[in-house]
Amino acid sequence: MSIAKIKRELRRWHWRLVRGGPGRRPRVLTASTLNGRLSFSNMDITIARELFFERSWEFDLITRTMAYLREQGHLGTGPGDVMLDIGANVGMICIAMLKHGYFREALAFEPNADNYALLERNIRQNRMAGAIRPYHCGLSDVAGEMVMELSEWNFGDHRIRTSPVPIQGQQGEERRRTVRVPVRTLDDVLAEPGAVAAQRIGLLWIDVQGHEGHFFKGARQTLAAGMPVISELWPYGLRRAGFDQDSFTALVAAIFTHFVHVDLKANRMERRPIAAIADLFAPYPGPDDGQEVIFLSDRGR
């Protein structure tokens, strides 16, 4: 057995040990990863396991998309030294972006209180308190409070409800424990005195579990500046949040001119006109069918 395989096997057993067995109690684990030195909950068996076992989170996605944007002239050509991490969780993306020199500053938005506490901790322990500004809120098309469904095993899959009546889901989401979380619109946040100017924003990274349509509605003024947006495209989540392929396509077509379908498995980055975003709904209908896209606009910049 190679040394690499031995290390992986040791990490596998170490993960089982530190996470605990049945009846486990919540505790915070910390690991040095490619994304930075990160703390996370042992109760999360998705993001936490990946960070602990693989020592990274979506790092290939980061490097591939950043390389593409740089090659296409969307990075490093203007004042865009700030990135926005929307649905930041514990900070895996924004900390990695600064750690590896893609951006100098970041704004990080996270509505869940437990995730937000770890986000603040991770910013401090990576010595980025002066560079990453955290916001304890979700970003939507309204300001106030909304209900969030909490996943017991994937703390990156907490979802904001947009219907007053719980919508039945294939994973029993309507039966999840819920909390109320603060929400704002991005346009309102950036209209505050002392806020970052939209012209300084070089990238938006969005992972909000189907709430992307509502986010876009509350960020139209900001997005008019034309910065690229890397986003999960999850038709199942979008539908639960009230967007079908026609309404979502109409919304993004009013903001962007084209998109890039990021297919890391096929080693393909396919640029397509924005209307073709509708074509990704039918092939990826299920709760495990999330895709990654880069929204781009020839307008603005």
Could you tell me the residue ranges of all domains in the chain?
A: 58-296
Q: CA-to-CA distance for 297 and 301, rounded, in angstroms?
A: 8
pLDDT at 3: 82
CA atoms within a 13 Å half-sphere pointing along the CA-CB vector of 260: 19
- As a whole number, mean pLDDT of residues 178-195 equals 97
The pLDDT value recorded for residue 300 is 54
What mean pLDDT, rounded, does the chain reach? 93
Q: Give the C-alpha separation, 186 to 217, whole Å.
A: 9
pLDDT of residue 11: 81
Read off the pLDDT of each residue in 41-66 and give the average, rounded to a whole number.
Answer: 94
Average pLDDT over residues 193-209: 96
Alpha helices in 72-138 (DSSP H): 92-99, 113-125
Q: Among 8-22, 35-49, 147-161, which stretch is predicted with the lowest mean pLDDT?
A: 8-22
Please compute the mean of the pLDDT values over residues 49-60 and round it to a whole number. Answer: 93
Using a cut of 0.85, tell me whether the model's pTM lies above it.
yes
CATH code of 58-296, in short, is 3.40.50.150
DSSP string, 177-216: -EEEEEEE-HHHHHTSTTPPPGGGEEEEEE--TT-HHHHH
**Residue 77 reports pLDDT greater than 90:** no
**184-216 exposure pattern, b = at least 16 Cβ within 10 A, e = fewer:** bbbbebbeeeeebebebbbbbbbbbbbbbbbbb
The per-residue pLDDT for range 1-41, each reduced to its tens digit, is: 688 777 778 887 888 888 777 778 899 999 999 999 999 99
Distance (Å, rounded) from C-alpha 172 to C-alpha 206?
24
* Six token digits for residue 190: 């950036």
Work out the average pLDDT over 133-149.
Answer: 98
**Helix, strand and coil in the chain, % to nearest 5:** 35, 25, 45
Share above pLDDT 70 across residues of the chain, in percent, rounded to a whole number: 98
What 3-state DSSP class applies to 17?
helix
> Does residue 202 surpass a pLDDT of 90?
yes
